[in-house]
Each structure stands twice: as structure tokens, then as C-alpha cells.
Chains A and B, each alone.
Chain A
Amino acid sequence: MADLVSHPDEVKVVSKRFGRGATNIDRYLELDGYKAVQKALAMQPDAIINEVKNSGLRGRGGAGFSTGMKWSFVPKQSAKPKYVLCNGDESEPGTCKDRLIFEHDPHAVIEGVMIAALAVGALSGYLYIRGEYRYLSIIMQRAIRDAYARGFVGKNIFGSGRNLDIYWHGGAGAYEVGEESALMESLEGKRGIPRIRPPFPAVVGLWGGPTVINNAETLANVPHIILGGAEWYANLGTPKNGGTRLFCLSGNIAKPGVYELPMGYNLKKMLYDVGGGIPNERNLKAVVPGGSSCPCLTANEIDVNMDFDSVAKAGSMLGSGGVVVVDDAQCIVKFALRTMKFYKHESCGWCIPCREGTDWLEKTLTRFHRGGGLKNDIDNMQYLSENMLGRTFCPLGDAAAMPTIAFVKKFRKEFEDHLEGRPCPYEKEGAVDQLPVMT
């Protein structure tokens, strides 16, 4: 469905089967499919975990936690069944990569879940796919059925005497459900309200059993690591940031698309060489480097290597791989407002700093953008956001606050330009007559 792109700098690992018919199980087998899981079946669980640890694979869902480390937290003995849960809720604005994996290489996700299950001793794995991705859910369901029919999944897999079940599950529209503990609540048939931690999911997760939760891209990398070896994979990236990453280029860029580039690829090069630069004779104003939760970088800050540690050093996050490019025809106040409108809409309402904070910030930004801002509002927005940080029940509160702080700090002048009833300099129609009534 979605168009594929390519660029000579790409290193295709997760995307190597894209566009090659690998949804068909026979074709997948021709393309080295289900070899990794058979190799893993002959390995000790600790050896699998060590291989993944040494590969430097870090979570592609956003936080960038070491995958092998996460798996090692699952207790060896457990009275309750253990589970592997694949997070395919993909809803972070700017992110559209898991979609391509499900569409083009569904069996790789199944294989990744299976290897994770073998590593931690789980007997079942669940694939949670967001409700909007119905066509992908259909592709996944067929892939699972085909894998069962061949005896790759189910009882006595590959004649090994071991059992391992794989199931699909569908969401129904909720960003917050992508948060790992809310994801489990949703899979248990409830509202997606997060759980208090500790206990962490690795110890008490789905239906009370120890649970490994990984992003779909993270899991799709695992078979390649098992086959190619930890060293090969680690060397594709930078120290402590193994492998490649699917970067979703979007926004005001000449060649938007999902590109698989080595970890640590330079952002400036990504925008100008891979993405073809800024179209319409415009200039770059800002980039959101890893999905809407990440503080933006200004045009002067883009000489940064895109791995978790370098982007963190530059004051932002590599996040989910969604690189949103903003040109100088865009109003940052409006951009900040749209960001906040999203978080306000998606806040589950469970804790006050997030529920009230996002609401107030959205209201303030709305008034501000329409020219009714007060001078104090600029500092107040920053103050309010800073006071949300670290004080919410789950990271959604931080995800709303962090980009706001960056917008206000880095583009203060644009906020000032909206003051005293002046119309938004970026919009044609006058702004003052649209002043909202503040209640």
C-alpha cells in the first residue's frame, strides 16, 4: 500500500525483504525465513540473551532500553505462565515504520516473538496491532495461520518437542495504549490506564505472569541478529547502539519515506542527501528527531549523529524514529499547539498533572495562537511544563511537556510575535476576531 523508497546509503536489515513478496510463507522461507528460530532452538536461553545483549540492540519503541538486558530481568522460575507481547500500537505522530514491517515481513515479527519466547521461557506470544491497521491485522492473521499449518508454531515446533503459541490482538484507537502497562490493560479487556511500577512487567505482567514487551521493529531485528551474529549487528551501528534503524522522514522534505540507515547516521545528511532537502525554495526551521514527544532541534542543531546517546547529548531523543521536518513557512506556535492538542486528546486522565496540565497548555496555546496571548503566558507555559516533568503516573506527561519546553525556549521570539493581538504572522486571515472565550 504505502510506497517504498530507497537510497544508496541505506543498509537493509529489517527492510531487506520489503517489496519481495515475503508475506507468502514459501517466499519467506526462500529468503532465509525461520532459520533463526531453528538456530535458537538449539541454543541455551542464556546464550540467546547474551547474543542479543552483545548486539547492542536497543528498543525501537522509544526509550532505547537494551533488549537483551530487558529479557534477562525475566525470572527463570515462575509459578505463572510467562508471555511475550509485541507492541504494534504505533501511534506516535511522525512514526509509520512498524506498518511497513507488518505489511511486508509479517513472519519476521512472528520469528522475533518466538526467539524472545525461547530466551525467557514463555509458551505464548501476543501481537498487539492498532485498530486502524485492519489490513495489517489480516496479513498477520494469515501469517500466523500459515506458520501453524507448517508446524512452525503450536505443538512440537519444528519437531523439537517444545510448544509455543502465537496470537494476534487488535486495538481500537488509543495512543496511550502504546505505553507498555496500558498495553497490557488493553489486552486484558480494560481501559488503557497504566499500572504503577514496580513491579515491572518482566516480573508481573500480562494476567500476572512475567512479560517481555518489545516494539515490533525491535523484535523484527532479532532473527537477523541470531543468524548474522551479535558482532556483525553491533558493527553496523555506533558503540552501544547496534544495528540500523527505520527512520520515517516526513513533513517539509523533498523525498519523504521510510529509510533504513545505520545507527549514528548524521541528521544533516539524512535531511539533505537522503531526504533531498527542503522543497519549494524554503529553508529548514526545525526538526523533531524522534516522534512528537521529542524536543525539536533548530536548523543550527542538526549536525548530530542519529543514535540514542548522541541525540540525548544534543538535548533531545531518538525516540521512535519519526523525523518530522518543519520549514520556515510554518508557525511554531501553531506547531506547538497541534502537538499539545494531541496530548490533551490522548491523556488518559488518570493523574492530575497530565490531565490538567495538557488541558491548560492547550487552552493557553490556542488563545496565544489566535493573538490573545498575555506576556506572562510564555513563562507560564514553560513553568507549567517543567512542573509536569517527572510528576506524572506514566511518561505521557513528560512526552507532552518536553517538546513544549523546547518550543518555548528555542522559538521565544515567535511567541512574542503573536503578542498584543497581532495576527499570526504565518496566517493570511486576521487572528483577533477569532479570540476564544476563556471560561
Chain B
Amino acid sequence: MKFSDEFEIRFAEMVPHYPIKRSALVPTLLYAQDEVGFLSDAVIAEIAERLDLTELEVRNVISYYSMLTTKPRGKFNVQVCTNLSCMVRGGEQILDHCKKRLGVGNKGTTLDGLFSVEEVECIGACSWAPAAQVNYDFHENLTAEKMDRVLEDYRRKATP
């Protein structure tokens, strides 16, 4: 298992921040997932070994956190908030729009592997609702047209 230099530098810097190694687990998993796309068996085995944990202990933690996944997702994960502040301003319609536009259901991935769509809970953008995150980028005060432009921008980014 090989991670990027950036990952290795961050990991080496992070572990000594804590009195016990295990504490680095949650952020390490997320950074690993960002590189590989999902938490594969190989990633889990590698991280378990580095932090002196069993694979089962690592899987047990993964299953708790909603951002962590053991299944591949699209290159761009479109996470639409439908919680209260977004819902009353049309968040559900934005979610439906994304599903239709991309032709997938909740947590589905497009055939070209470019996009997946996920309904998420509040992402801390309530005052700029309705809102979505594509990977880590926030997109706020959305309308169907604006969402289309956002998706188009990502598509263009992927096809140089």
C-alpha cells in the first residue's frame, strides 16, 4: 500500500500529537479515503497495522462515521442537504434534480464513475440554504439552474 508523500508527512506529524497512537485513526482514515477513493481492504489492513489495531477494530470505527465508506464512489460526490433549513428552501427539489440529471438514486454512482449523489444531514450552511457539498467544496443558495452549472463545471474539470 502506497500513499502520497503529502499523506505520509501529515501522518508522521499527526501521530506524535497524541499520547496513544490510536487517536490518529479517524482523521487518518478520512485522508486515506480521499486518496484511494474508498477504504479498501488493503487500506484497512495498512492503517490497522500502522496504529497497532486489528482490522476488526478499524472496521468497527469506519461503520460509525457517515463520511467513511468501504465502497467506491464517484470521483465527485454530490452531497445535498435536505435537513430543516434547506428543506424549507427547496433542498429536496435540488436532490431530486441531481438524481434525475445524473440518472442515479441516492448513493448511486454514474456509469462513467464521475458522479455519485448522496442525501446528507446538515452541513453547516443553513443560512445559505439550500446547500450541497461536492467532495469538500460548498455550493450554496442553490437553484436547479445553479446546480446544473456546478455539475457541468465538475464534468469539465474531469475531461481536460
Q: Measuring CB to CB, which residues of chain A are less than 8 angstroms from any residue of chain B?
A: 1-3, 81, 90-96, 98-99, 130-135, 167, 169-175, 186-192, 207, 248-252, 256-258, 288, 292, 322, 324-327, 330, 334-335, 338-339, 342, 345-346, 348
Contact = CB atoms under 8 A, between A and B. Distances in A.
B61 interface: yes
Nearest to A167: B17
B88 interface: yes
B53 to A, nearest CB: 8
Contact of B23 (A81, A188, A251, A257): A188
Contacts of A175: 121
Contacts of A348: 64
A44 to B, nearest CB: 28
Given A170-B26, A189-B24, A94 B122 contact: yes
B114 interface: no
Interface stretch (B77-85, B99-107, B142-150, B152-160): B77-85
Contacts, number: 151
B19 to A, nearest CB: 5
Nearest to B23: A189
Given A93-B122, A131-B30, A135-B136, A258 B127 contact: yes
Q: Which bucket holds chain B's interface residue count? A: 35 or more
23 contacts: A1-B138, A2-B140, A93-B122, A94-B85, A132-B67, A132-B123, A135-B136, A171-B26, A171-B27, A172-B30, A172-B65, A172-B66, A187-B23, A189-B20, A189-B25, A189-B26, A250-B129, A252-B89, A256-B126, A256-B128, A326-B88, A334-B87, A342-B84
Nearest to B82: A338
A257 B127 contact: yes
Nearest to B65: A172
Given A2-B127, A188-B22, A169 B27 contact: yes
Interface in B49-92: 51, 60-61, 64-68, 82-85, 87-89
A346 B121 contact: yes
